[in-house]
Amino acid sequence: MHRARIFPTVTRQFAAWVLALVASVLLAVPALAQRSAPPPPAAPAGQGLLIGSDEIPVTLHAEGRPVEGKEWLLALHFTPSAPEWHGYWSNPGDAGAGMTLALDLPPDWEVGEARYPVPHRLVLSGLMNHIYEGPYTILVPVIPGPSVKGFAGPVKGSVDYLACSDVCVPQHADLTAVPGGDFASWRAGIAPPLDARARFAITGKTLRIAIPLPESMALADPYVFVGNQRLVAHAAPQTFRRKGDLLIAEIPLDDFGTRKAEALSGILAFGDKDAGGFVFKADLGEVPTGGELVAGPKNATAPPWWTLVLGALLGGLLLNIMPCVFPILSLKAIALARAGESEAKARSEGLAYTAGVVLACIGLGAGLLALRAAGEQVGWAFQLQQPGVVVGLLVLAAAITANFAGLFELPAISVSMGGEKTGAFATGLLAAFVATPCTGPFMAAALGAALLLPVPQALLLFALLGLGLALPFLLLGFVPPLRRMLPRPGAWMERFRRIMAIPMGLTALALVWLTVQLGGRGFGVVALVLVFGVLVALFVVGKLQRSGKMAWPAFALVAAPFLAFALIALPNVYAAKAQKAHESILAGRAFSEQALAEARASGKPVFLYFTADWCVTCKVNEASSIERESTRAAFEKAGVVTIVGDWTRRDAAITQFLTGQGAAGVPLYLWYAPGASAPRQLPQVLTPDLLEQAAAGQQ
């Protein structure tokens, strides 16, 4: 007798997981994190060392009696003990581990390749997992040899695999095959093989696969589960095109993988969550180019470069009218007018402000690209999904409001002091940082392309966004006639500054609301205590400034206790609760790939939109176009299914979907007509009757 083995699939992080597992055992940690939980090797004979065996129990079944030379099926039937436990496909993706099966069979018997159902996709912390939820069965074909005549049975063996939920537990089971089982149902659950072989080619950083598939076959949400190890970036967006009876898939390669393959195998899934699919095998060969885009990132048909440049510049320019940017810019312009007639000083001010804006935009863009390169699923304005950053912005907005109201003087944005290069530079940094949530509707294409372009081109687009934002102040510095158009300095300037405290104060109130949305009421109360302490400290600073005394050491003395209290209290009161359902009169379902697939399969039109509480444009669109009784009535009449993705907090699944649509952030509005292979992307600034017209067109 020999031990016929089917080896597991293990990810490239496996060595790190093994080290993490050993460290966890040594430290007596009771549960293992999912990223550090590989299955142990089979226990040596007679020792029976097990880490876990009850989370997903498994049984081995045999179909009938074996016959020499004919395929005989064995079935491994896995039954999770609770709904939260899941197992893994042969290639688990970016995390997890496949199974190791050892069977005691005569040496002249052949064990074939295990046959699996179509797996599901699960993204955790930016890592793609290929999993099975609920009961699932893996079939193992065996071809008995001549020794079958003396084989009395039963078949015995062992299997090692992984069970995961919030934690992962390696599983081991010693098996004895029992005759019979629901083989008809188990066969039906296995992904069938594609009759014709596919072709694949590796071009640059992309794997391209031509899969024979009838042009008439509809695909709701195709995805290729690649069986080859360390070849592709599993979490990266996949692009699909139709060219006659060929489906052409394009998948980015793993930057740290093998980047080569002699043969390819995998499963083409028609959609997520039980949508069906085919097993395919592919040979190296020619893969056609072109074809009709049916799924994947919109950058597959990216607009010309000049349109991206123009969009970035125009988007930055229009940001100057936003309520949190306009007061800062207008007061700096007035300060420039008061600075005197010096041309050199005016130009210096303009250049310093521009440098601050451009540097801030490049810095935010570089941080975004670096996080995405590290596997994080983030998008533009990602900093506003961090409660700590929002608290910092709240304190800053309150301080600027107090400055505008005359509570204290800050040279960077003061109208009573001459312009200074350091003040202009700091103002530029501030203006760019607070403007990022408003960029989406003006430069969606440019930002979406920036996330997928080479780094130098992407950073250039971020720099052009900053240049557009800084352009009005830069022109004031270099074009004297424009400065002469500004009103002459006078007492009105102080009144104007106090008026500008109103929009900045409203911005601060909006940030209070957002703080509560992100961290809960207790978190918001502590943040307000911090704001109160900072305002008290600034009041003391203002009193000292007006008496001509040294002021800022007093600020540190007064504010320090409040800051210390906030640093201790904020993490303790932060409510890391799940994102609550987005409230809408359209009664929209919360976004998930499964919800979208089910809605499209219903044959009804689908309206999918993505929003966030910190997105000004999103809220304007909702008030003017979405949350309207006339829209609700039109949707009910047309049977429109509404799905909403709330991106207020970080959500890897939403970020991945946005990237797949070529969008860097929110808002994003998609309309799926019944039977359409791809959605129609609606404008990011909605007109009041746009959705009603779309619904009427489906009747």
Confidence at residue 411, expressed as pLDDT on a 0 to 100 scale: 57
pLDDT in tens, 227-251: 999 999 998 889 898 888 899 999 9
Give me the DSSP letters along 310-335: HHHHHHHHHGGGSTTTHHHHHHHHHH
Minimum mean pLDDT range among 5-14, 69-78, 284-293 = 5-14
pLDDT higher than threshold 70 for residue 28 = no
| Distance separating alpha carbons of residues 424 and 487, to the nearest angstrom | 20
More confident residue, 54 or 642: 642
Distances (CA, A) of 632 to 628, 642, 689: 6, 10, 12
Task: Determine the pLDDT at residue 156.
Answer: 94
Show the beta-strand stretches assigned E in 519-612. Answer: 589-590, 606-611
Dist CA 656 CA 669 (whole Å): 15
Q: What is the pLDDT of residues 543-586, one digit of tens each?
A: 988 888 888 888 999 999 999 999 999 888 886 544 455 678 88
Q: What CATH homologous superfamily does 589-696 map to? A: Glutaredoxin (3.40.30.10)
DSSP 32-81: B-GGG-PPPPPPPTTT---S--SSS-EEEEE-S---TTS-EEEEEEE--S
Residue pair 178/59 in contact (Cβ under 8 Å)? The answer is yes
| Predicted pLDDT of residue 422 | 65
pLDDT for position 677: 66
Q: 3-state class of 528 per DSSP? A: helix
Report the distance separating Cα 620 and Cα 302, nearest Å. Answer: 28
Of 70, 236, 226, 68, which Cα lies nearest the Cα of 141? 70
pLDDT at 302 over 80: no
Task: Return the minimum-mean-pLDDT range out of 264-278, 438-452, 618-632.
Answer: 438-452
Architecture, CATH, for domain 198-296? Sandwich (2.60)
d(CA 90, CA 267): 11
Q: What is the pLDDT of residue 30?
A: 32
User: Which pairing describes strands 641-646 and 589-590: parallel, antiparallel, or unpaired?
Assistant: parallel
The pLDDT assigned to 588 comes to 86
User: What whole-number distance in Å separates Cα of residue 574 and Cα of residue 391?
Assistant: 12
Distance of alpha carbon 651 from alpha carbon 579, whole angstroms: 9
Distance of CA 639 to the CA centre of its chain: 30
Whether residue 38 is predicted with pLDDT greater than 50 in this model: the reply is no
d(CA 655, CA 367): 16
CA 66 to chain centre: 50
Query: What are the domain boundaries of the chain?
Result: 2-189, 198-296, 302-385+409-493, 589-696
Instruction: List strands edge to edge, sheet with 110-111.
Output: 110-111, 136-143, 72-78, 58-62, 178-179
User: At residue 232, what are phi and psi to the nearest 5 degrees?
Assistant: -115, 160
Please, which pLDDT band fits residue 303 given cuts at 50, 70 and 90?
low
Contacts of 600 (CB under 8 A, 6+ apart): 220, 221, 606, 672
142-170 per-position pLDDT tens digit? 999 999 988 888 999 999 999 998 888 99
Q: Cβ of 498: how many Cβ atoms within 10 Å?
A: 11
**CB-neighbour burial class of residue 388 (10 A; exposed 0-12, middle 13-18, buried 19+):** middle
Query: Residue 46: which pLDDT band, with cuts at 50, 70 and 90?
Result: very low
For residue 575, the tally of other CB atoms under 10 A from its CB is 12
What is the end-to-end Cα distance of the chain in Å, rounded?
Answer: 69
The pLDDT assigned to 280 comes to 96
pLDDT per residue as tens digits for the range 341-374: 577 877 888 888 899 889 988 887 787 777 666 5
Distances, alpha carbon 515 to alpha carbons 394, 510, 512, 528, 572, in Å: 8, 9, 5, 10, 15
What pLDDT score does 306 carry? 77
Crossing angle of helices 326-338 and 492-519, in 10° steps, is 150
Rounded alpha-carbon distances, angstroms, from residue 237 to 57, 184, 212, 452, 658: 34, 35, 21, 10, 10
> Rounded distance, CA 423 to CA 688, Å?
42
The pLDDT mean for the chain works out to: 80
**What is the tens place of the pLDDT at every residue in 511-536?**
898 888 888 888 999 999 999 999 99
Helix 455-478 to helix 326-338 angle (10° resolution) is: 40
pLDDT tens readout for residues 643-668: 999 888 878 778 878 876 767 678 88
Question: In the prediction, which pLDDT does 212 show?
Answer: 94
Token code pair at residue 29: 């940690």
Torsion over CA: 501, 507, 511, 517 (sign)? positive
- What three-state secondary structure class fits 144? coil
Q: Nearest to residue 468, comparing CAs of 449, 485, 500, 443?
A: 443
Q: What is the sign, positive or negative, of the torsion defined by CA atoms of 380, 383, 386, 391?
A: negative
The span from the CA of 42 to the CA of 201, in Å, is: 37
Label residue 65 exposed, middle or buried (CB < 10 Å: 0-12, 13-18, 19+): exposed
**Between 196 and 8, residue with greater pLDDT:** 196
Q: Do domains 2-189 and 589-696 have the same CATH topology?
A: no
| Residue of 70, 58, 74 lying closest to 180 (CA atoms) | 74
User: Could you please report the per-residue DSSP string of 87-129?
Assistant: EEEEEEESS-B--EEEEEE-TT-EE---B-PPPEEEEETTEEE
Q: Give me the mean pLDDT over the 198-220 stretch.
A: 88
* Distances, alpha carbon 684 to alpha carbons 380, 489, 615, 663, in Å: 15, 40, 12, 11
Q: How far apart are CA 203 and CA 146, in angstroms?
A: 47
Distances (CA, A) of 161 to 7, 92, 168, 499, 572: 11, 11, 11, 67, 38
Q: Which 8-state DSSP code applies to residue 232?
A: B
Q: What is the pLDDT of residue 382?
A: 60
**pLDDT given for residue 36 in this prediction:** 33
What the block records as the tokens of 226 is: 């690649």
Distance between CA atoms of residues 256 and 129, nearest Å? 18
Q: How far apart are CA 286 and CA 296, in angstroms?
A: 22
pLDDT band at 223 (very low <50, low <70, confident <90, very high): very high
> 228: helix, coil or strand?
coil
Residue 292's DSSP bridge partners are: 242
Q: Whose CA is closest to 193, among 230, 144, 139, 232?
A: 139
CA torsion sign, 172 to 177 to 180 to 186? positive
- What is the β-pairing status of strands 239-243 and 246-252? antiparallel
Share of the chain above pLDDT 70, in %: 79
- Find out if CATH 2.60.40.1250 is the number for domain 2-189: yes
Could you tell me the pTM of the whole model? Answer: 0.49
Whether 126 shows a pLDDT value over 70: the answer reads: yes
